[in-house]
Amino acid sequence: MTPDYQTLLLAIGLSGFCLSATLFASWMSARVERFLLSWSLGIGCIVPAVTAYSIYFENPDYRIGSLAFMLQFLGFAFIYGAAYRFRTGRRGRGRMVVVFATSSALTLPWLAAGYDGIGFIALNLLIAAWLVATASEYWRGRQEAPLPLKGIVILYLLTAASFLLCAGVLIHEGRWVMGHAPDNWAENLNLVMAIIGITGIGAMSLALNQWRVAGNHQRAALTDALTGLLNRRALFERHGGEPVEGHRAAIAFDLDSFKSVNDRYGHAAGDAVLKVFADVLRDACGAAASVARLGGEEFIVVLDRTLPDRAQRVAERVRADFAAKLIPIGGRSITCTVSAGIAFGNDQCANFDSLLSNADKALYMSKRNGRNRVSPAA
């Protein structure tokens, strides 16, 4: 092994160890973003893989080579799993098992049979494929944080290209049987690219984690914890500073006799009723509407670019759907109703507060007239 090659392997091992420890410490600090843990385990497997490979370079025993191969496949399986978990939030253990098992089955028999060149070609092609798959997962989730995710994708693809070069050189030279580890310019370039990739991707992953943590804190501050709807603060941040125009409608909802539900069945039952009503609102209003819980059993829906008849239909659908719901409470099912009031932007609505006030007045009209009904503002 040349001193330069040995130095590159040492650099990969040290940078990988430091990055793995940093990622693990970042995950331990909060234990929320588990993709960091998978990333840490993946890089943690690459470090002993480099050690085993350096031993194989000096002593080309197929058993040592097989250990180096398996550790690399295990590491890249975790790295792919981290990307899949980042995008979907699911564990992806089955996918990681497929990556590891498939890669081992396609390479290790060649080493054992003495065709180590074919084994190394398959190793490089498979790692390149898993790196491209990993880049694809981050690319599909790039809308969350475009800048760091695009940087991560580029580094993964460049690293994959360096592995393809290693395979291409061996194929071009016809090195099906070598009796030793490959040693050529492509291998040196691959080690340099691996160092750049580990360092750059690690730094961007930490930045990505901070980006996601900050986003989670912001969403928590603007979301009602029980129902997942917008809270009052979020509603006013979205609409409070805007002029009220004639095409905007506000629908105020208030659950009928909600206090009796809490008194008779308990607050847990009341929470269940509120969650069911929140689901009804989501289904009826669609993604374009601003749906918020103002507090207690009071909810507001804001519809932009809508006509009175559409707002009426939305409110009536919510009222009817909720009244038809059988809500399971402690081994039994109960039904509840809701009253609503609709207000539209006009010359008398000086601001968003005025629009909500008009919707509240219409709501109280529904309450006075018998509940479980929809009333437009006067």
Residue 67 pLDDT: 95
Residue 14 pLDDT: 74
List strand residue ranges (DSSP E) for the chain, in order. 249-255, 290-295, 298-303, 327-329, 332-334, 338-344, 374-376
Taking the CB of residue 309, how many other CB atoms lie within 10 A of it?
Answer: 8
Taking the CB of residue 302, how many other CB atoms lie within 10 A of it?
Answer: 22
- Model confidence at 270, pLDDT cuts 50, 70, 90, reads very high
More reliable by pLDDT, 279 or 198: 279
Compute the average pLDDT of residues 113-132.
95
More reliable by pLDDT, 174 or 10: 174
Residue 281 pLDDT: 94
Contact status, residue 43 vs residue 75, Cβ threshold 8 Å: yes
Record the tokens describing residue 219, joined without a space.
Answer: 């969403």
- Distance, in Å, from the CA atom of 79 to the CA atom of 87, rounded to the nearest integer, reads 13
Domain edges within the chain: 3-221, 232-376
Residue 1 pLDDT: 45
Tell me: pLDDT of 147 over 50: yes
- The CATH architecture one would assign to domain 3-221 is Up-down Bundle (1.20)
R_g over Cα of the chain:
30
Flag whether the pTM goes above 0.75: no
Antiparallel, parallel or unpaired: β 327-329 and 298-303: unpaired
User: Percentage of the chain surpassing pLDDT 70?
Assistant: 92
Compute the average pLDDT of residues 267-286.
92
- Model confidence at 31, pLDDT cuts 50, 70, 90, reads low
Compute the average pLDDT of residues 155-160.
94
Span of 243-247, 336-340, 360-364 with lowest mean pLDDT: 243-247
Compute the average pLDDT of residues 288-310.
90
Compute the average pLDDT of residues 168-173.
95
* Mean pLDDT, the chain, integer: 87
Residue 2 pLDDT: 47
Contact status, residue 342 vs residue 248, Cβ threshold 8 Å: no
Which tens digits make up the pLDDT trace of 214-247? 776 777 777 888 998 999 988 888 887 666 666 7
| CATH superfamily name and code, 232-376 | Reverse transcriptase/Diguanylate cyclase domain (3.30.70.270)
- Distance, in Å, from the CA atom of 295 to the CA atom of 110, rounded to the nearest integer, reads 66
